[in-house]
């Protein structure tokens, strides 16, 4: 399989950092469950070992196939699942496919680059990484999984999916978040209800930050809206900056209310710097 240019760039970007191991999270979970290692009986999904049936064990826990081989009853034991689940969502809707200059990446390209690089680190660190595709997701378990993620070009909706993930999962959402505020708040409430934590990664083009437009300007809609004619763009600059500040404050408030972190990134900034921030955030 020939790697895509985006996949290759993400791998090079991830190579500057060591494998991401969420030891802080694992230690915290081990202490909470009274364990001293990852191999411990619990409510996880992975089989650990069999043990003899004891009085008081629920009948539903008996493994009848194993018990049939001997004259004893055996219970199937499972281990605590302490590996971190991290889900990565990249918004590639119309507004994210914008770049104000030919030498700049689109917002979607930068968002995907950062998430792919983060996925590469997670993969090297042995973490359970999921990549959103449309309304679902698929696990990234190999280099082929990274290549598949690099090829995803549709997000399905402009909102992150509901994502039926394990409780306490981490989610990184990369977007310009030009979406209905009420819908975003409702989705974040669902994540918070299941103790899912994460990062709102706000991606901006430099022209969206500066609004360095002068005179008569016609703006085309990126999501199918009609174009807008601005007779004097300069006169609107202050009002635009105020509205952008309000949008950022809203995202910060939404993130804080769910126990998430808000990060802002412009496509002219170093992707290495933002990857390091994401690395440090997930590492606790």
- Quick: pLDDT tens for 36-59: 333 444 444 444 456 676 665 667
Q: Nearest 5 degrees, angle CA 15-CA 145-CA 20? A: 40
In the chain, domain spans: 5-24+82-282, 41-79
- Residue 139 pLDDT > 80, yes or no? yes
CB 244 within 8 A of CB 238: no
Give Cα 182 distance to the centre of its chain. Answer: 20
Helix (H) or strand (E) holding 48: strand 47-52
- In angstroms, rounded to a whole number, what is the distance separating the alpha carbons of residues 31 and 80? 12
CATH superfamily, region 5-24+82-282: von Willebrand factor, type A domain (3.40.50.410)
Please check whether residue 222 is in contact with residue 95, taking contact to mean a CB–CB distance below 8 angstroms.
yes
Tell me the mean pLDDT in the region 12-21.
58
Beta bridge partners of 75: 51, 62
Mean pLDDT of all residues in 117-140? 81
Q: Residue 251 in contact with residue 189, Cβ under 8 Å?
A: no
Residues whose CB falls within 8 Å of the CB of residue 32, separated by 6 or more in sequence, listed in order: none
DSSP letter assigned to residue 157: S
Residues shown for the chain = 284
Checking if the pLDDT of 192 tops 50, the result is yes
Alpha-carbon distance of 151 to 283, in angstroms, equals: 27
Structure tokens at 178: 């030009």
pLDDT (tens digit, 9 = 90+) per residue, 17-42?
Answer: 544 333 323 333 333 333 333 344 44
């Amino acid at each position: 399989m020939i790697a895509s240019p985006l996949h290759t760039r993400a791998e090079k970007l991830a190579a500057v950092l060591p494998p991401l191991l969420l030891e802080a999270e694992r230690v915290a979970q081990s202490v909470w469950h009274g364990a001293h290692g990852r191999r411990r009986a619990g409510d996880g999904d992975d089989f650990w070992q069999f043990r003899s049936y004891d009085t008081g064990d629920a009948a539903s826990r008996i493994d009848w196939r194993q018990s049939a081989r001997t004259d004893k009853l055996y219970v199937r034991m499972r281990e605590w699942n302490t590996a971190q689940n991290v889900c990565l969502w990249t918004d590639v809707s119309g507004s994210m496919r914008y770049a104000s200059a030919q030498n700049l990446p689109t917002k979607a390209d930068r968002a995907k680059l950062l998430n792919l690089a983060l996925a590469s680190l997670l993969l090297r660190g042995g973490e359970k990484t999921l990549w959103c595709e449309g309304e679902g997701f698929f696990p990234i378990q190999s280099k082929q999984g990274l290549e598949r993620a690099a090829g995803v070009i549709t997000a399905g909706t402009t909102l992150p999916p509901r994502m039926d993930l394990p409780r306490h999962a981490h989610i990184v959402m990369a977007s310009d978040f030009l979406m209905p505020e009420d819908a975003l708040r409702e989705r974040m409430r669902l994540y918070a209800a299941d103790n899912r934590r994460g990062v709102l990664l706000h991606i901006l083009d430099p022209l969206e930050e500066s609004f360095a437009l002068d005179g008569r300007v016609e703006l085309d809609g990126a999501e199918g809206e009609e174009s807008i004619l601005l007779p004097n763009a300069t006169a609107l600059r202050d009002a635009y900056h105020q509205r952008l500040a309000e949008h950022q404050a809203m995202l910060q408030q939404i993130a804080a209310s769910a126990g998430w972190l808000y990060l802002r990134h412009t496509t002219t900034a170093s992707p290495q710097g933002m990857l390091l921030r994401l690395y440090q955030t997930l590492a606790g």
